[in-house]
Amino acid sequence: MKTIEDMKLELLSDNSNKFMQTLIDYDIKSKDKYGSNLLHYYIMNYDSIVHPAGVIISEFIKKGLDINDKRKDGRTALYLSVQCQLQDIFEILLNSNADLDIQNVNGNTPL
């Protein structure tokens, strides 16, 4: 089974079909040493990734990824989308029922 580090590399590749195939056998709840899941990594590296946000996020959700999952610093995917100024991802996450009221370790919410 692929590790999250393997999947990060796959996500950076430009082969969408291979990434989607690899995702089938991946434990979507895996996290790296910072507590980041694959969605957090996708958002933080959005400018380097060619896979379309709507498709990727939808696949992550279908696999059982919790879009409200926090990193060790308490930031959620929604928080990261605001921090990175990614309005399209912010809207996708909101439409997928992301929680606006989750606080990070400092008590801040995404807005």
**Where along the chain do its domains lie?**
4-95
C-alpha Rg value of the chain to the nearest Å: 13
CA dihedral 92, 95, 99, 100 (to 10 degrees): 80
Q: Global pTM?
A: 0.94
Structure confidence at residue 16 (pLDDT): 85
Q: Please tell me the distance from the alpha carbon of residue 81 to that of residue 94, in angstroms, as a whole number.
A: 11
Give just the sign of the alpha carbon dihedral 74, 28, 6, 14: negative
27-59 pLDDT tens trace = 999 999 999 999 999 999 999 999 999 999 999
Is residue 17 scored above 90 in pLDDT? no
Q: Please tell me the distance from the alpha carbon of residue 5 to that of residue 69, in angstroms, as a whole number.
A: 18
Is residue 84 scored above 90 in pLDDT? yes
Q: Please tell me the distance from the alpha carbon of residue 70 to that of residue 40, in angstroms, as a whole number.
A: 9
pLDDT band at 93 (very low <50, low <70, confident <90, very high): very high
Q: Please tell me the distance from the alpha carbon of residue 57 to that of residue 18, in angstroms, as a whole number.
A: 16
> Domain 4-95: which topology?
1.25.40
